[in-house]
Amino acid sequence: MSDNAIKVNVLLFGACREVAGASELQFNLTAPADVASAWAEIKNRFPNLEKFERSALFAVNEEHSRKDQPLKDGDTLAIFPPVSGG
């Protein structure tokens, strides 16, 4: 891996997991990276995740995060689809 590359572990939950067909993935990203750039790479690999663009929630290392949250080598990015219920 080059000096400007980072490895991020991605956890997918609910409908996102179903669309991707996996609950855990690893992505190599070019640094600097943030949640938005990781999400773009993930959608590139799994285009059907685009339907969650406006509603997906993100967490980095088990803390809620926004799309501008920077990512570091070894971080875990969790992606949650919208949740509904009563």
Q: What is the 3-state secondary structure (H, E, C) of 21-66?
A: CCCEEEEEEECCEEHHHHHHHHHHHCHHHHHHCCCCEEEECCEEEC
Judged against a pLDDT cut of 60, whether residue 13 lies above it is answered with: yes
How confident is the model over 58-78, as a mean pLDDT?
A: 97
Q: Where are the domains of the chain?
A: 5-80
The per-residue pLDDT of the chain, averaged, comes to 93
The CATH homologous superfamily of the domain defined by 5-80: Beta-grasp domain (3.10.20.30)
**What local confidence, expressed as pLDDT, does residue 65 receive?**
97
C-alpha distances (whole Å) from 30 to each of 40, 58, 60 are 12, 19, 17
Judged against a pLDDT cut of 90, whether residue 62 lies above it is answered with: yes
Q: Comparing 83 with 25, which gets the higher pLDDT?
A: 25
Its pTM stands at 0.91
pLDDT tens, residue by residue, 14-46: 999 999 999 999 999 999 999 999 999 999 999
Of 38, 40, 51, residue with least CA distance to 9: 38
